Structure formats: C-alpha cells, structure tokens
Amino acid sequence: MSSGRDNTQAQHGYALAMLKRELILAYRKRGDLANPLLFFVMVISLVPLGISPDSSLLALLGSGMIWVVALLASLLSMDSLFRGDYEDGSLEQLLLMPQALLAPVLMKILAHWLMTGVPLALIAPLLAVMLSVPGEALGVLLLSLLVGTACFSLVGAIGAALTVALRRASLLLSLVVIPLYIPVLIFGTAAVHNAASGLSSAGPLAILGAFLALAIALAPFAIIAGLRIGVDG
Amino acid sequence: MSFQLSVQQLSCERGGIELFAGLDLAVTGGDIVQVAGPNGCGKSTLLKTLATLSSHYSGEINWCGESLHQVRLNFLSRLLYIGHKTGVKLQLTARENLAWLYPGPGSQIQIEEALAAMRLAGYEDRPCYTLSAGQQQRVALSRLLLSDAPLWLLDEPFTAIDKDGVEMLEGLLEKHARHGGAVVLTTHHTLGCEGMRTVNLQDYVPVAGVGT
C-alpha cells in the first residue's frame, strides 16, 4: 500500500519538476515565445488595412480571421516543442524515466499552452474590438480560444513528436497537423458566430470541450509513441 | 539486488548498415566493461540498444533472465544512461539541469553535494552556456553521485574531462563496481580500472553479404 502511495508521490514529483523546468526554460527563451504572439497581433492589425476598414464587413470576418490566425500562430510555435530536447539529449532522459511518461509529457504540453495558447487567447478580445466584433461575443471568443489553443497544443505535439528527428520538418508538421486542427476551427468559429448573432453558443463550446477531453485522453499516447520513433531514428 | 544483463547473438544496424553481429555479452554486479573500437563501429549504437532507445537490432537482450522489453520499467528504474548527448540544457543552471531528474524532497542538498564533489561548487546557479565543455560534462556526470541505479551505461563519459577528473571518475567507477554495481562504457582513453574487461566491436564485424 505505502509503496503504491510512494510511487504516486514520486510520479507527482517528476511531473511537477517537469512543469517547473519547462516554465523556467520558457522564461529564459521568452524571445522565441513572443514570436507567435507578435505574428498574431501583426496579421490581425493588417486585416483592416488589407481588406477594408468598413466595420460591418470586419464584424462579419473578424472572429473567423482571429481563429485562423490563432491557428497559424499556434502552429508556428509547435516545431520547437521537442526539438531542443532532442538535440541536447534530454529527450532520451525523458524516455528513460522509470515510470509512466503520461504525466511528464502532459506537463510539457501544459507549459507550452500556458506560454503560447493562453497569451493568444487573452489578447484576442482586444484585437476583436479592433475588428468590430460585437461586444457580446468577446467572452465566448476568449473561452473558445482557451479551449481551442489547448487542443492545438495537444494535437500539434503529436506532429512535433513525429517529426522531431527530421531536419526542416515544418512543412511536414503542418501537413500532419492541419487536418486535425480543422474540426476545432469549425466549432470554434461557430461558437463565436453564434454569440455574435445573439444565438446560444453552448453547443459548439460543448463540442470544443469534448475535443479537448478526447485530445487529453488520447494525444499523449501518440506523442510518446512518436517520440520513441524519433529517438530510435 | 543482484542483476544480470545478458546479450546473445546481438547485431545492430544504423541507417540500414549492419555495424556488428554475433555479439555475446553478460554484465553482472562488479563488472566494468569497456566497449572499444574505431569511430563508427557501433559503440554508441550498442549502448543505445542496451538502454532500450534503439530497436534496430536482432538477437536477444535479457534482463535478469527475462526479455528486456517485458521488464522495461523494472530495468529503467535500475539504469543510469548518460549518452553522447548528455541532456544538459544550456539555458538552465547546473542545479536546474539535475533538479528535474531528481525531484524528491531532500534532493536539493544531494544535488549541491554532488556538484561540489564534481568541483562545480560556485557554479551551481550559473546558466550552463557560461560553463566550459568540461564543466558541462561534469554537470551531466554529477548524476553518477545522485543515482542509486546499479547499472551504468556511459557513452564517452570522459569527453573534455581533465586528467584529475578522469582519475576521480575511474575511482568512482571502481567504487561502484565494488559495491555491486556494473558499468558499461565507451571511451578512447586507456583506463586503469581494476578488473576491467574490454569488448572490441571490431571482433564482431559482420560477414559481408550476410546482413543484406
């Protein structure tokens, strides 16, 4: 009994230590992490210049634009998720941990989401105001992006794991991952559209939540398998 | 506590080329085995294969009489592997590099002691990119003092280590073997460890044409 509890405690210890390590690393490399966010802000600010400053047109396009660019920005940050660990050998050490890898891998992705997805979601309502998205849709936009970017991080990590050993893998990564991003995009934009036109967005949000639950349950297995293949070479 | 890692008729390949074949090896407590051979003969591949990181092999690898892949977690809990890529992250400090591998309570003090024993006292909280190559290697090798695993697989542990450091590490390896541990290492140094065996992979060059 007590060894079982010790074991669980040890697992928590490893998971927390991993989360701490990832957050420290992200802080030290904050320049890299600013890139997707900067990309997001820049592209969205170019939309009114490139398309039209007409607010009724922007309101129609705005939420969709924000979701598409958030998807691309999230994709931009995926390539480096496991690359550094692969190159310096810490990925080997991760795979050799004498315990289930589920928790450490999930923590790695949690850290990635906290450092990329959450800032994207938080800044989105601000940009939405700039694109004249109706005020009543802003809350739903924030919520849907929080859930959506978490899905992106989990699913993107599968692609990042599969392509970790390849050089110049960004194109392949996009090809692997974008088809899996599409359902999230569809229901994410549907939620915001519904809210903007005064309808209930509970349905699309619930489906987004279901995607997230599914991704949390299944993605780690694919990620771990992908990492093993990558290290195996 | 006793253990045995045994290898029968092992042949490994890298990038589709068979590197060595027909290797038999048994490692138990008290052994120090040096894997020797020229560059590219498969030393690192052998260690990776033994560490379950590579699956491009044929032959049998057993851990305590059972197939390695069936008792993988048990094996990993008793293994310390330091590869050619040591896992030292340059943006992290020496302390942080070890903290995520040895989380438990009280490990902070142990990490400090291990770093001090590796002559890294005063460097604990500097980012590793400010350390020299030898010091970075020492950060990785601090794990020899932190780990309680009986089986050590070390790929080129003496890279960039100075003369005194090599002597100290030899002492560590001997002490580990005396206490019932086992070490398999690759190195180009001539080591003076007591009771060390050498496996030369050149003796196991595959017969041309058989592997293809």
Q: How far apart are the first and last CA of chain A?
A: 40
| Predicted pLDDT at A60 | 85
Chain B residues whose beta carbon lies within 8 Å of the beta carbon of residue A92? 51, 53, 81, 83, 85, 87
ipTM: 0.90
Query: How far is CA B85 from its chain centroid?
Result: 11
pLDDT digits (tens, 9 = 90+) for B153-182: 999 999 989 999 999 999 999 999 999 999
Chain B residues whose beta carbon lies within 8 Å of the beta carbon of residue A231? 53
Tell me the mean pLDDT in the region B10-19. Answer: 90
pLDDT digits (tens, 9 = 90+) for A54-97: 888 888 889 899 999 999 999 999 988 999 999 999 999 999 99
Q: Between B4 and A33, whose confidence is greater?
A: B4
Best A22, A25, A87, A92 member to test B by mutation, with max B CBs in 10 Å, is A92
Q: How far does the CA of residue B42 sit from the closest CA of chain A (Å)?
A: 14
In the 8-state DSSP scheme, what is residue B127? B
**CA angle at residue A145 from A139 to A146, to 5 degrees?**
90
Pull the structure tokens for residue A231.
Answer: 């290290």
The CATH homologous superfamily to which domain B1-78+165-212 belongs is P-loop containing nucleotide triphosphate hydrolases (3.40.50.300)
CA atoms within 13 A on the CB side of A212: 20
User: Which member of B77, B81, B88 has the closest CB to residue A88?
Assistant: B88
Structural domain count of chain A: 1
Please list the residues that pair with B155 across neighbouring strands. B186
Please list the residues that pair with B25 across neighbouring strands. B7
Would you list the domain boundaries of chain B? 1-78+165-212, 85-148
Q: What is the dihedral of CA B24, B29, B31, B35, to 10 degrees?
A: 50
DSSP assignments along A163-219, one per residue: TTTSSS-HHHHHHHHHHHHHHHHHHHHHHHHHHHTT---HHHHHHHHHHHHHHHHHH
State how far the Cα of B154 lies from the Cα of B186, in Å rounded to an integer: 7
Contact of A21 with chain B, judged by CB distance below 8 Å, is answered with yes
User: Which member of A24, A93, A232 has the closest CB to residue B101?
Assistant: A93
| Predicted pLDDT at A1 | 41
Q: Which domain holds residue A162?
A: 2-232
Contact of A233 with chain B, judged by CB distance below 8 Å, is answered with yes
pLDDT digits (tens, 9 = 90+) for A116-159: 999 999 999 999 999 999 998 999 999 999 999 999 999 999 99
User: Which member of B51, B86, B100 has the closest CB to residue A21?
Assistant: B100
Q: How far does the CA of residue B66 sit from the closest CA of chain A (Å)?
A: 17
From residue A208, give the alpha-carbon distance in Å to each of A185, A212, A214, B24, B132.
Answer: 9, 6, 10, 55, 49
Contact of A84 with chain B, judged by CB distance below 8 Å, is answered with yes
